[in-house]
Amino acid sequence: MSDLPVAYQKLRARGRELALLGATGGLLGWDQETLLPPKSHGFRAEQSAQVAGIAHRLATAPEVGDWLSTCEAAQPSPESPEAACLTRWRHDYDRATKIPSDLVEENERASGLARSVWVEARKKSDFSSFAPHLEKLLFLARRMADLWGHSGQPYDALLEGYEPGWKTAEVTALFTKLQPRLVAIAEKAFAIPAHPSRKNLSGHYSRLDQEQFLQNLLPKIGFDTAAGRLDTSTHPFCSGLGPHDTRMTTRYDETDFMVSLYGVLHEAGHGLYDQGLPEKELGTPLGQAASLGIHESQSRLWENRVGRSHSFWRAWWSDLARAFPDLNGHSWEHCWRAANAVERSFIRVEADEVTYDLHILLRFQLETRLISGDLKVRDLPAAWNELFQKLLGLKVPDDSRGCLQDIHWSLGGFGYFPTYTLGNLTGSQLWQAAHRNLPNLQASLDRRDYHPLLQWLRQNIHAHGRRYLAGDLIQRATGKPLDPEAHLSILEEKVKDLSS
């Protein structure tokens, strides 16, 4: 152990450098989505590529491997935080050193250009203009997957970047198990007489009124507004740039205030996780999120388990009615039903929680075929439309509401989509565990006291960073492995409640 402190501190210092560079790249990305002038995207792509290249060279420098080997030879206690950090650092180093810096820069440059083209293509529903960029990104993704290594399924290597330990076959088996039950739950909901709908709340909800309500809501659920901000973008997102700097975005619809309400609750869940990571561990794996699925579990828990509950609508009703006069004449029960309405819809980020995972299953099936080469880019719109009609019973009218609606593929984010459903399953399992462990939790939620829930999540999820793999973290927090039953039972109970 005598050599560990010096080499370990060098790893920590390099990790901090990388965290600062990552935050700089994240800030460039946030600015591109919110404020960047239209003609600046090409130059921004060059900036982002430069930062990514510098970071990659620092992360893969030979001395990093030497420091790791020195620390590993010292054999720290397997249960120590240092051992956990070394395990994660070794995973990241071995993965990163397989990809040359010029390929990292090329991928960053290609995604920067593709992102700006996607924005315009989505507006015009013009898939043909985006298709060449998607071809390029898929080529680069396959190339990186081959360099990372896999056992005949290149998607495994891409998935590993978001959900370490998961394999494509495991996700496929889980989703195959989910699909028929999800479809059955959705069909029951579609058949509810006097079907609830957000359209029944049609009115005028000014953007200013929405912004003011959301700025009041955020600190009440625990989000530190002095250490974060809320802006607008084409696609809502949250960037945890570092301690005391969390950037969230949403979008507004003046005919439907729930678009921004649930968009913000979702992104705030991400933001609360980012704000809950140990600040003193910046640059080490203990200061990073466990996985994207765990990150998503936080956003879906706050959006759906909290924000779509009876207690939320009952407790916030007077504030909502005051903020939005067009709600006068409605009751909180009516709005709760509308907020939980299960409806066929085209847009994933606006989908209800029953049909949401069907949107993810569709994307997972298509992108695994794109990566394998079984599905050609030119055939993507038709394949999307066919599968969408099979799963959700709707004929897709245009590519803006079809295969162009998400930003992820323009960023080269292949392997990302499954994390949403993994997050849904995890969030529901955590919710049930929190209620078991905190007998007075429901009473606190009823009086708008979200502190006990947030502290439970801080203690059981946020504080650990990447010390544990996602599956181990779920086991520790809930007492059992990830199981879809918690999520499916919650959905079934909610549809039953809507039917009564």
Q: Decide if 270 contacts 303 (C-beta within 8 A).
A: no
Helix (H, G, I), strand (E, B) or coil at 230: strand
Cβ atoms of residues 230 and 215 within 8 Å: yes
- Return the axis-axis angle of helices 81-96 and 62-73, rounded to nearest 10°: 150
Residues of the chain with CATH 1.10.1370.30: 168-499
Instruction: List the 245-250 sheet strands across, edge first.
Output: 228-232, 245-250, 238-242
Q: What's the rounded Cα separation, in Å, for the pair 229 and 141? A: 33
Provide block-wise average pLDDT over 10 residues at a time, the chain (500 residues): 81 97 96 93 92 95 97 94 97 96 94 93 98 98 97 96 94 92 95 84 95 98 97 91 96 94 96 98 97 97 97 98 94 95 91 95 98 97 97 96 96 96 97 98 98 98 97 97 94 94
Which residues, 6+ apart, have CB-to-CB distance to 102 below 8 Å?
53
- pLDDT given at position 3: 64
Kindly indicate whether the domain formed by 168-499 is annotated with CATH number 2.60.120.650.
Answer: no
Is-catalytic flag, 333? no
Residue 289 makes CB contacts below 8 A (sequence gap 6+) with 240, 273, 274, 277, 295, 465, 466
Q: What is the pTM of this model?
A: 0.92
Asked whether 15 and 283 are in contact (CB, 8 A), the reply is yes
Q: Is the dihedral of CA 468, 424, 151, 480 positive or negative?
A: positive
Residue 60 CA to residue 62 CA, distance in Å, equals 6
Residue of 267, 296, 343, 367 marked active site:
267
**Which DSSP helix (H) or strand (E) runs through 399?**
none
339 close to 327: Cβ distance less than 8 angstroms:
no
- Tell me what pLDDT residue 1 has: 47
Distances (CA, A) of 29 to 55, 316, 395: 15, 34, 34
